Amino acid sequence: MEILARAVGRRKEAVAQVQMVRGTGQLIINTKPAHEYLQNDSCAILSVQAPFDIYKKALSQSGRGTEANSSSFATNEVETETQQPSGVVTQLTSSAIDTIVKVKGGGLKGQAEAIRLGIARALCAMVASSNKQTLAKEVTINSDVTTPNTGLRKQLKDKGYLTQDSRVKERRKYGLKKARKASQYHKR
């Protein structure tokens, strides 16, 4: 099992550890398929799927590959296939990527957002490492070659998928019922 990239995503109390490995294009969360773990919640599924959609668009725009086959979470497949550019051997040549996620803490919404952040970070790391290997193997560097990592990273950043939302629940203070809720004031 060759690990292509690793990343961590956090949101509220949820922490998601994401690994990208070569495989058949599955998204596995805590040893369960994504649909089953996310309880068929369409908002959570679309949230987790969004970084993959941007990754496919960045690959097709950069000219490094074709847009992947239809990604259908109904069959739990996210296939990302790329073609070889002229003379350059890439790490992701004609392979599908399995995404293995371990997540704990928080609720379903917080876990989905933590997974989304982890996947976005892992995709950026994977593309960056493949660019380093490509440039190391390439003898001459053309000025025409654009790295899709900058385009992918910019698109993910513009959508807000690489920004960690650090808001957490405020602690309870003594003398109060919750963080700010106090008992009702009465004059007499």
For residue 62, name the pLDDT band (cuts at 50, 70, 90): low
Q: What is the pLDDT of residue 96?
A: 80
Q: Which of 161, 145, 126 is nearest to 62 (CA)?
A: 145
pTM of the model: 0.75
Decide: 77 and 26 in contact? Cβ < 8 Å.
Answer: yes
To 10 degrees, what angle do helices 148-159 and 42-62 make? Answer: 150
CA 16 vs. chain centroid, Å, equals 10
CATH code of domain 3-159: 3.30.230.10
For residue 188, name the pLDDT band (cuts at 50, 70, 90): confident
